[in-house]
């Protein structure tokens, strides 16, 4: 393991219970000479330069001793497969002979790479139960102090590490948190990396030796659009001369929000799905509303009702993050490492949404998902190439709408580092806004879902007492002690 710059942590945690003990830079164990080639970025990647890092973490019961060294060693080995994470963003700019401005991820086989920041922290008075909190209490503020790079946006990967890991030791457990530059990859890429790291660590603990292979190696070659003139890319010239022309920092309002994790059992979700399909009279001859579409419709309706100040004529939308890998023709590998995600949405008035049943709203979402096919994906990329644009976080802020991100399909609880299954998944403050909903697989059984909901306090109070919503929530399964 090539850990360098070992030093006491300089940055104090924002929560008095969490103390940073040390930090170091983790670099790949072994790098071939061919690694000096840049990793070019495509429209999905470049459009996310203003978006904060992905912050997700896993809570575990007490691991064996000396686990910090195991985690560092296995991370170093994992980075040999995921080289972009050990590199940095580089802007290439020239004025002559013709103006050009492009951004890539680069890893050069020398000591100039930042590597991955690794912080070892301790929360001596905090237990696993404190992080989980009782099922009827909101996510505790200490969770936000278990993550690094809270205020960073992805463009900061020019000077900040593309991946920062904080491992926090608790009284009776450990929390492993990754802050992952969104330009480098999406949620699928994030969890593919996390699973590979866990796999290598687990095998090292069992075999006591280095592990060279992983079961799902990433596909690092970026996808670019083909057109009638041949391949488009890999170097995309952006219509800028300085980053000030497109960088936009948003001051997070996460501190004003209330967060709560709601658990939905397989039985509850099956009931929602059956109700939605019955209301729409779908049958075997038509495509049916999925479980997640029915659950999303429930959340959309109930959150909208909980926002009691919304006028009936107000437009409200529900957006779902959707994976393009399987929608392209030919499809991309599930192990494609990069961004391959977009949002689809449905928009109606508050009155329309609340005067119809769950099936009506679910069918709107179902149609939006069904229409998102290969040709629609390619049209978006073609349009972006003609007029490149960089998203702003403010583009996604709508106090009348709901946005669901992440996915219950991600293999979060398969991340076994060698001491068993995680107790819970939690996220940091990045990308949190009023109406954001993060979806996770439930810990108990296939088909269960956990939703981490962020709302203004008065809306959360109203949601907590909404009969339609709380009837579907499985309160007795909301934490790990069942």
CA distances 16 to 19, 141, 254, 402, Å, are: 7, 11, 19, 33
Q: Which of 416, 444, 466, 480 is catalytic?
A: 416
* DSSP label of 365: H
Three-class SS of residue 38?
coil
214: burial class by Cβ within 10 Å (0-12, 13-18, 19+)? Answer: buried
* DSSP label of 452: E
Cα–Cα distance for residue pair 291/441, rounded to 1 Å: 13
Q: Are 121 and 168 in contact (CB under 8 A)?
A: yes
Cβ neighbors of 406 (< 8 A, separation 6 or more) are 56, 187, 321, 427, 438, 439, 440
Per-residue burial over 294-327, b = 16 or more CB atoms within 10 Å of its CB, e = otherwise: bbbbbbbbbbbbbbeebeeebebbbbbbbbbbeb
Question: Which residue, among 34, 2, 419, has the nearest Cα to 210 in the 3D structure?
Answer: 2
Question: Which residue, among 84, 249, 87, has the nearest Cα to 152 in the 3D structure?
Answer: 249
Strands of the 341-349 sheet, one edge to the other: 258-264, 449-455, 436-441, 402-406, 315-323, 341-349
Could you confirm whether 416 is annotated as catalytic? yes
- ∠ CA 107-49-315 to the nearest 5 degrees? 155
As a dihedral over the C-alpha atoms of residue 102, residue 107, residue 111, residue 114, rounded to 10 degrees, the angle is 70
* DSSP label of 334: T
Cα–Cα distance for residue pair 256/65, rounded to 1 Å: 38
How would you classify residue 258: left for phi > 0, otherwise alpha for psi between -120 and 50, otherwise beta?
beta
Three-class SS of residue 104?
strand
Token readout for 109 is 């086989």
Token readout for 313 is 């004529």
Q: Are 142 and 131 in contact (CB under 8 A)?
A: yes
Q: Are 100 and 93 in contact (CB under 8 A)?
A: yes
Could you confirm whether 182 is annotated as catalytic? yes
Q: Which of 20, 70, 182, 366 is catalytic?
A: 182
| Token pair 């709901």: residue | 402
Q: At what angle do helices 187-207 and 67-79 cross, to 10 degrees?
A: 120
| Residues with catalytic roles | 182, 416
């Amino acid at each position: 393991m090539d850990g360098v710059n070992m030093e006491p942590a300089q940055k104090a945690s924002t929560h008095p219970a969490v103390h940073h003990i040390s930090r170091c830079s983790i670099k790949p164990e072994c790098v071939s000479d061919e690694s000096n080639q840049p990793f070019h970025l495509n429209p999905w990647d470049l459009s996310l330069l203003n978006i904060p890092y992905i912050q997700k973490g896993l809570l575990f019961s007490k691991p064996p001793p000396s686990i910090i060294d195991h985690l560092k060693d296995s991370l170093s080995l994992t980075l040999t497969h995921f080289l972009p994470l050990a590199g940095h963003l580089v802007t290439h700019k020239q004025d002559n002979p013709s103006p050009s401005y492009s951004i890539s991820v680069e890893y050069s086989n020398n000591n100039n790479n930042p590597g991955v920041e690794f912080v070892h922290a301790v929360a001596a008075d905090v237990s696993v139960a404190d992080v989980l909190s009782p099922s009827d209490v909101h996510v505790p503020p200490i969770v936000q102090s278990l993550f690094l790079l809270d205020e960073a946006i992805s463009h900061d990967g020019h000077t900040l590490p593309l991946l920062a890991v904080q491992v926090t030791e608790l009284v009776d457990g450990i929390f492993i948190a990754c802050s992952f530059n969104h330009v480098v990859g999406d949620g699928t890429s994030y969890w593919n990396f996390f699973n590979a790291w866990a796999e290598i660590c687990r095998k090292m603990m069992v075999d006591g030796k280095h592990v060279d292979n992983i079961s799902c190696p990433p596909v690092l070659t970026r996808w670019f659009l083909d057109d009638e003139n041949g391949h488009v890319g890999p170097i995309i010239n952006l219509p800028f001369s300085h980053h000030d022309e497109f960088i936009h920092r948003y001051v997070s309002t996460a501190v004003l929000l209330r967060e709560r994790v709601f658990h939905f059992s397989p039985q509850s979700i099956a009931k929602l799905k059956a109700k939605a399909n019955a209301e729409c009279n779908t049958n075997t001859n038509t495509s049916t509303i999925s479980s997640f579409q029915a659950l999303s419709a429930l959340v959309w309706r109930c959150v909208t009702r909980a926002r009691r100040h919304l006028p009936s004529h107000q437009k409200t939308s529900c957006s779902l993050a959707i994976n393009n890998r399987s929608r392209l023709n030919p499809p991309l590998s599930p192990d494609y490492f990069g961004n391959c995600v977009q949002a689809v949405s449905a928009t109606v008035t508050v009155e329309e949404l609340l005067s119809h049943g769950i099936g009506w709203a679910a069918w709107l979402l179902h149609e939006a998902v069904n229409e998102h096919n290969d040709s629609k994906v390619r049209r978006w990329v073609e349009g972006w190439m003609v007029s490149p644009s960089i998203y702003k976080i403010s583009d996604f802020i709508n106090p009348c709408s709901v946005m669901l991100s992440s996915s219950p399909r991600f293999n979060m609880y398969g991340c076994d580092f060698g001491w068993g299954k995680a107790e819970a998944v939690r996220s940091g403050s990045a990308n949190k806004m009023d109406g954001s909903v993060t979806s996770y697989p439930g810990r108990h059984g296939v088909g269960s879902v956990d939703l981490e909901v962020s709302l203004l306090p008065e809306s959360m109070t109203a949601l907590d007492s909404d009969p339609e919503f709380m009837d579907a929530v499985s309160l007795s399964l909301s934490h790990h002690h069942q």
